[in-house]
Amino acid sequence: MHSKKIKVGIVGGTGYTGVELLRLLALHPDAELSVITSRGEAGLPVADMFPSLRGRVDLAFTDPAQADLSQCDVVFFATPHGVAMSQAQALVAAGVKVIDLAADFRLQDTAVFEKWYKLPHGCPDILANAVYGIPELYREQVRSAQVIGNPGCYPTTVLLGLAPLLEQGLVDLSVPIISDSKSGVSGAGRKAEVATLFAEASDNMKAYGVAGHRHHPEILAQLQLLAGTSLQFIFVPHLVPLIRGMLSTIYVKLSARGLKTDTQALYETRYQNEPFVDVLPPGSLPETRTVRGGNQLRLALHSQPDSGYLTVIAVQDNLVKGAAGQAVQNMNIMFGLDEQAGLNTVPLLP
Amino acid sequence: MHSKKIKVGIVGGTGYTGVELLRLLALHPDAELSVITSRGEAGLPVADMFPSLRGRVDLAFTDPAQADLSQCDVVFFATPHGVAMSQAQALVAAGVKVIDLAADFRLQDTAVFEKWYKLPHGCPDILANAVYGIPELYREQVRSAQVIGNPGCYPTTVLLGLAPLLEQGLVDLSVPIISDSKSGVSGAGRKAEVATLFAEASDNMKAYGVAGHRHHPEILAQLQLLAGTSLQFIFVPHLVPLIRGMLSTIYVKLSARGLKTDTQALYETRYQNEPFVDVLPPGSLPETRTVRGGNQLRLALHSQPDSGYLTVIAVQDNLVKGAAGQAVQNMNIMFGLDEQAGLNTVPLLP
Amino acid sequence: MHSKKIKVGIVGGTGYTGVELLRLLALHPDAELSVITSRGEAGLPVADMFPSLRGRVDLAFTDPAQADLSQCDVVFFATPHGVAMSQAQALVAAGVKVIDLAADFRLQDTAVFEKWYKLPHGCPDILANAVYGIPELYREQVRSAQVIGNPGCYPTTVLLGLAPLLEQGLVDLSVPIISDSKSGVSGAGRKAEVATLFAEASDNMKAYGVAGHRHHPEILAQLQLLAGTSLQFIFVPHLVPLIRGMLSTIYVKLSARGLKTDTQALYETRYQNEPFVDVLPPGSLPETRTVRGGNQLRLALHSQPDSGYLTVIAVQDNLVKGAAGQAVQNMNIMFGLDEQAGLNTVPLLP
Amino acid sequence: MHSKKIKVGIVGGTGYTGVELLRLLALHPDAELSVITSRGEAGLPVADMFPSLRGRVDLAFTDPAQADLSQCDVVFFATPHGVAMSQAQALVAAGVKVIDLAADFRLQDTAVFEKWYKLPHGCPDILANAVYGIPELYREQVRSAQVIGNPGCYPTTVLLGLAPLLEQGLVDLSVPIISDSKSGVSGAGRKAEVATLFAEASDNMKAYGVAGHRHHPEILAQLQLLAGTSLQFIFVPHLVPLIRGMLSTIYVKLSARGLKTDTQALYETRYQNEPFVDVLPPGSLPETRTVRGGNQLRLALHSQPDSGYLTVIAVQDNLVKGAAGQAVQNMNIMFGLDEQAGLNTVPLLP
């Protein structure tokens, strides 16, 4: 345990993952917000932009050119894709740990990265040592990581929803795994766009990214790592009128051995020591509001007896376990803190 | 074409399908509302309960015991399951046509009906001659039907979403067909229940009925009729915070012949003369609001090249094409009217 | 009655009032959409942008530079403030009638216009002959008008909510009239802005424009015309998470004569022949959804016995009676059509 | 400061104020949940009803007949009106402190209580010593109270919104004070009722209780205490489609002295040491989401120069500062704890 508080920097604090980091870190017992940058809002007190932080966060935004991030113990990037990789080298050289909430360090295959993000990768050597930050899968690597690629929101639900089965080789991979995923609108970020206006997105629902969503290659790569083999994966994300909340309904065919397995017991055992993964009792129907504002991911299993399929339903708050909460969880592990520090909240229901 | 207006009766007009029938019939050029019954609200002007109808509907609710439904040309049942079958015999004997918006005449197999609805079937002989009322599949039978079992909301999306493929035998039935379906909250009806309160259902999402939903046997029976063989079907409905709107994302594996077929052209041809089925251009992502208040069902196809699957996305207004609108469409056909009479509206967007 | 259909042009059809005009005019029995312009979307079929119009509107957007609006019988401007006044002169000269849904012809005092809209007025002579288009107040003038300034959404609720009292001199004007008004988010238009994103405006409520809203001078000028004297008016608009819908709660002190008046009877008499103003029975609590998609404005009166105040509650759909519906109503009157033509719908409830 | 944790009982924990108490107390550093009663749900683990509490609350509901509340240090009543007054005597006799979140101890005038709540008051002697629990107004009395009448949600906004003016005699009471108040739907409680179903209350807005709301006499009595004289008060509550959140827009006429006062400075000074009352900078427009889940009440002042009125806008979370949070704040004071204990959270935005 550190005797002094960890000094935290945030690059790009004006989006939803940024303000969510601020919400969580403002009350973190072992961390102190040291600097937060924004090109557009330099000089503005953070709490003027987000009055929910009044009295909790006294910082003002700093111009990135003026911010001395090398003084920090850790820097979070809550920025568009491509920013973290342009600054990681210098920070790593200065001994600063980096947690990127964008995609720069999620895909080990730089060709895949470049195909989906239309950017050459700026620091493949750092990428090679970066850790994909799902603690429930890679806790030991996170502990010693210098750079974390914090996972996408959808991938966290699918990977934690399938890990116990894939780790044990209980899936029939002759048919595709299908994830029908649904996300609240905050997942689209705090950008002024017509498609996510209230009058467009409220009382409305649609699929999107069916022809190809950036989280598909990320999930596929990780699923294949878990399975130890190649597999087929169909992913259809949907936009639903929630502010926060994500639900993935995952359809997977069990292998012959999988059909003989007590999958409920398997999942309960796999996650019994995980403070943030909650395997619900048999027959449960997880609701997104049961994790609103909390870092939990809740799971339920439903077998489809006629077809040998298992349906896994996973819910999380896309801004917490799907983004900022998982990032803080990673920070806690990297610095040897209590993994639940700053994340010990109760979801807001109703 | 009738020279006089059709006299319409509605049994049970206080729920959402009831008020939706009233909305559509109030302006129908060839129908006149003749009687509407409600045990609990007898004597109350309909427009006092639903002020949206002020100036459009002058009727008051009549006590069912006092209503002479045999004077009507057609009676709609917007009632709980079991009511229509207790009154159908007498109405049919009196020459009145019956359109039931509940489940009494949807399932030809009475054993299946009794298993799912926990009721013995009261008139199997009438059931045997009843027609399952999806005009796009059974228009000729509807034309001469005395009794219509108006389909459930979910089945309409799945059946119209798959009919062109199944009719042509283009599906690989060695794997299950999967429908991940999402419904607005009005689908649960206008009953006082905690689970559908605003403070429970808003900003929240969940799956439900995973262990078995009454629309599963209905869809399965119809899919098997279309395919001409038995098949496996996985159905997971979800509740999403929309008032109206339903979206089904259907995952189906194409057969070898299906993979060689231009499915877009197939669907466009199959539905080219259907005024209420709209096959969207390739790449489209249907939104529920594009059918809000209208009788259209809009479809889009997305192939999943690696796995040979096709994803069909279908949207409708669950209260219109999924219930009252389809019922009026059936009425129009039964009485030789213009099929679009009273349904010629533009959806409300935004 | 015209024997041929009226040829309609719309300038700026990509916003919410534009698509609402399209929705209403698509089914208007006596009007035909002739041209619709958009600088940014020239060439795009209208139904590609708004799929709710598929099968109902076949037009594509035309570049304004290429559009021959002088062929139209009437042109609607669903544009930002300032556009209509730059084109009105030429259209009027060509004998085309103009209905502006923006503010160019709402304020007779050009100094007030220039103060609030930061634009010099481009055609004061046309303004001098323009009519403020609330038919219930100015029907005769509308009938012969060449140019209509279609009222703002808020003003329609306040003016129709107070006209019977002010016309009869029943208000104690020694204290201010207060309107606490609430609007759905579509009132802010279809512009990409952070403040009206779903994730900002949903599950949230705020007042805005308290220091001065452009509808204040518009309402004040009209109230003073109705009262025949100057008066004080406090106006606080609020943004609430509705797509459509507007509710004004108006607090007015009755004069001694007002206190002796049967205000319910007064309102019922005043509006008895008005198809679009609905005075609800005593004790009613109007809901915005009872006018969703319809051109009705519904009113209820509540006396506050201890203080001599009357509370008037008025609801409308801000896009219909508050904008496009009222514009069509004005068109109907200007061309001698049935005032309800194309507006004879039933609001969408639920 | 107590050396041991306070033992807390909750009577009636199945409603929204109950689950909100659980959310706050689950993480309270100085309190421990000892017993929670429910007649209907006895034996059910609390976290089975509210899965948001899984892992945080291990209690099950106890049958009231079996619960030994006299072992508690404090008992919260989150029950319908009338329950607390039937049990208060015995608890007080046993030395247990009582905090009632219903109305039993809010109105000192039992005749007024009986008029509005249709119940005879069961323990007027205890009522006489009960304290109206707004700490910012009555902190000293709260400190030594045995029984607290926790205020209604609306009254908290109006009273804290007006206290600085009334305490200083800066209001012109010759005209009524008007509060136009808006509440989220959770304020109606977790009761199965048609009017608060999602499909009724979503995308809809209405006024209610205009003819008389139970919070009117409560507010009026407290306003008159603050003013030291009788006054007129008009109160119109509205239901808006928020889960949580309350906004009151208060219209008050300043006296001659009030007009000369720097009201912004007055409010800032009055509340400078109040951790839960936040006077926003001049020109601010408070949003309900800035207090979502937090115990803050945020205020802004807007002068209406022409009329001499001041508009006060106050927002709070109706379930926190408007109910459970204020109750915990009162508990903290009564037991000499840090007033912010357990309430030191950051509101959830977005």
For residue range A100-119, list pLDDT tens digits in order.
999 999 999 999 999 999 99
C55–B278 C-beta distance less than 8 A:
yes
* pLDDT at res. C305: 85
Q: Hey, is the C-beta of C194 within 8 angstroms of any chain D C-beta?
A: no
Q: Hey, is the C-beta of B41 within 8 angstroms of any chain C C-beta?
A: no
Tokens of A141: 């690597």
Pairwise CA distance, residues C51 & B286, whole Å? 9
CA A212 to chain centre: 19
SS3 state at A250: strand
Average pLDDT, stretch D184-202?
Answer: 97
Average pLDDT, stretch C187-209?
Answer: 97
Tokens of C59: 């037009």
Residue type at A325?
Answer: G
Q: pLDDT by residue (tens digit) across D45-73? A: 999 999 999 999 999 999 999 999 999 99
Q: Which of A314-323, B226-235, B271-280, C59-68 has the lowest mean pLDDT?
A: C59-68
Q: Could you tell me whether strands C31-37 and C6-11 are parallel, antiparallel, or unpaired per DSSP bridges?
A: parallel
| Closest C-alpha among A291, A289, A329, A348 to residue D346 | A348
| CA of C101 vs chain A CAs: smallest distance (Å) | 19
Q: Which chains sit next to C, with 3 or more Cβ pairs under 8 A? A: A, B, D
* Chain B residues whose beta carbon lies within 8 Å of the beta carbon of residue D243: 198-199, 202-203
pLDDT tops 70 at residue D15: yes
pLDDT tops 80 at residue C201: yes
Q: pLDDT by residue (tens digit) across B155-195? A: 999 999 999 999 999 999 999 999 999 999 999 999 999 99
Q: pLDDT by residue (tens digit) across D171-185? A: 999 999 999 999 999
Query: Which of B234, B240, B245 lies nearest to residue A307, judging by beta carbons?
Result: B234
Pairwise CA distance, residues D218 & D209, whole Å? 14
* pLDDT at res. B305: 85
Q: pLDDT by residue (tens digit) across C135-145? A: 999 999 999 99
Backbone angles phi, psi at D192, to 5 degrees: -75, 105
* pLDDT at res. D13: 87
Query: Which of B203, B286, B346 lies nearest to residue C27, judging by beta carbons?
Result: B346
pLDDT tops 60 at residue C96: yes
pLDDT greater at residue B65 or residue B163: B163
* Chain A residues whose beta carbon lies within 8 Å of the beta carbon of residue D19: 349-350
Pairwise CA distance, residues D277 & C333, whole Å? 54
Pairwise CA distance, residues A239 & C101, whole Å? 33
Please check whether residue D77 is in contact with residue D11, taking contact to mean a CB–CB distance below 8 angstroms.
yes
- Give me the DSSP letters along D160-178: HHHHHHHHTT-B-TTS-EE
Pairwise CA distance, residues C298 & C293, whole Å? 13
SS3 state at A314: strand
As assigned by CATH, the class of the A6-129 domain is: alpha beta
Where do you find CATH 3.30.360.10 in chain B? 154-318
Pairwise CA distance, residues C2 & C336, whole Å? 8
Residues of A forming the active site? 153
Q: Hey, is the C-beta of C279 within 8 angstroms of any chain B C-beta?
A: no
Q: Hey, is the C-beta of B234 within 8 angstroms of any chain A C-beta?
A: yes
B294–C16 C-beta distance less than 8 A:
no
* Chain A residues whose beta carbon lies within 8 Å of the beta carbon of residue D183: none
Give the CA radius of gyration of chain A.
Answer: 20
C240–D182 C-beta distance less than 8 A:
yes
How many Cα atoms are found within 13 Å in the side-chain-facing hemisphere of C208?
19
CA D255 to chain centre: 29
Q: The tokens 């389809």 sit on which residue?
A: B326
- Helices D215-227, D110-117: crossing angle, 10 deg rounding: 160
Q: Which of C153, C173, C250, C327 is catalytic?
A: C153
CA B123 to chain centre: 22
* pLDDT at res. A305: 85
| CA of C251 vs chain A CAs: smallest distance (Å) | 29
Mean pLDDT value across chain C: 96
Name the β-bridge partners of B249.
B180, B313
Name the β-bridge partners of D100.
D77, D149
Q: CB neighbours of D106 closer than 8 A, spacing ≥ 6?
A: D132, D149, D150, D151, D152, D155, D218
Where do you find CATH 3.40.50.720 in chain A? 6-129
Please check whether residue D276 is in contact with residue D316, taking contact to mean a CB–CB distance below 8 angstroms.
no
Where do you find CATH 3.40.50.720 in chain D? 6-151+322-334
* pLDDT at res. B13: 87
Q: Hey, is the C-beta of D210 within 8 angstroms of any chain C C-beta?
A: yes
pLDDT tops 60 at residue D2: no
In the DSSP assignment, the letter for residue D60 is B
Inter-CA distances, D300 with A304, C213, D249, Å:
56, 18, 10
Please check whether residue C209 is in contact with residue C151, taking contact to mean a CB–CB distance below 8 angstroms.
no
Between the two ends of chain D, the Cα-to-Cα distance in Å is 36
User: Is the domain covering D6-151+322-334 a CATH 3.40.50.720 domain?
Assistant: yes
D193–B199 C-beta distance less than 8 A:
no
Q: Hey, is the C-beta of A49 within 8 angstroms of any chain C C-beta?
A: no
- Helices B215-227, B110-117: crossing angle, 10 deg rounding: 160
* Chain B residues whose beta carbon lies within 8 Å of the beta carbon of residue A245: 203-205
CA-based nearest residue in chain A for residue D242:
A350
Return the H-helix or E-strand segment holding C200. Answer: helix C198-201
Q: pLDDT by residue (tens digit) across C259-292? A: 999 999 999 999 999 999 999 999 999 999 999 9
Q: Hey, is the C-beta of B16 within 8 angstroms of any chain C C-beta?
A: yes
Between the two ends of chain A, the Cα-to-Cα distance in Å is 36
* Chain B residues whose beta carbon lies within 8 Å of the beta carbon of residue C51: 280, 284, 286-287, 290, 298
Beta-sheet strands, E only, within chain C: 6-11, 31-37, 74-77, 97-100, 131-132, 147-149, 177-183, 206-207, 233-239, 246-253, 277-279, 297-304, 309-316
Angle at C102 between CA C97 and CA C108, to 5 degrees: 80
* Chain B residues whose beta carbon lies within 8 Å of the beta carbon of residue C347: 52
Residue A305: asked if its preceding bond is cis (omega within 30°), the reply is no
Q: Hey, is the C-beta of C292 within 8 angstroms of any chain D C-beta?
A: yes
Q: pLDDT by residue (tens digit) across A228-253? A: 999 999 999 999 999 999 999 999 99
User: Band of the pLDDT at A2, cuts 50, 70, 90?
Assistant: very low
Catalytic residue check, C153: yes
* pLDDT at res. A317: 98
Average pLDDT, stretch B16-30?
Answer: 97
As assigned by CATH, the class of the A154-318 domain is: alpha beta
Q: Hey, is the C-beta of A318 within 8 angstroms of any chain C C-beta?
A: no
Interface predicted TM-score (ipTM) of this complex, two decimals:
0.97
| CA of D190 vs chain A CAs: smallest distance (Å) | 10
pLDDT tops 80 at residue C2: no
Query: Which of D178, D205, D253 lies nearest to residue C288, judging by beta carbons?
Result: D205
A103, burial (CB in 10 Å: exposed 0-12, middle 13-18, buried 19+): buried
Average pLDDT, stretch C103-128?
Answer: 96
Return the H-helix or E-strand segment holding D17. Answer: helix D16-26
What is the percent of chain B where pLDDT is above 70? 99
Q: Hey, is the C-beta of B203 within 8 angstroms of any chain D C-beta?
A: yes
Average pLDDT, stretch A134-150?
Answer: 98
Query: Which of D191, D193, D198 lies nearest to residue B201, judging by beta carbons?
Result: D198
* Chain D residues whose beta carbon lies within 8 Å of the beta carbon of residue A183: none
Suggest the residue from B198, B204, B231, B248 to mutate for an interface test with chain A (most A CBs closer than 10 A): B204
SS3 state at C87: helix
Average pLDDT, stretch D135-161?
Answer: 98
Q: pLDDT by residue (tens digit) across A196-221? A: 999 999 999 999 999 999 999 999 99
3-state secondary structure chain B: CCCCCEEEEEECCCCHHHHHHHHHHHCCCCEEEEEEECCCCCCCEHHHHCHHHCCCCCCECECHHHCCHHHCCEEEECCCCCHHHHHHHHHHHCCCEEEECCCCCCCCCHHHHHHHHCCCCCCHHHHHHCEECCHHHHHHHHHCCCEEECCCHHHHHHHHHHHHHHHCCCECCCCCEEEEEEECHHHHCCCCCHHHEHHHHCCCCEECCCCCCCHHHHHHHHHHHHHCCCCCEEEEEEECCCCCCEEEEEEEEECHHHHCCCHHHHHHHHCCCCCCEEECCCCCCCEHHHHCCCCCEEEEEEEECCCCEEEEEEEECCCHHHHHHHHHHHHHHHCCCCCCCCCCCCCCCC
Pairwise CA distance, residues D311 & D299, whole Å? 10
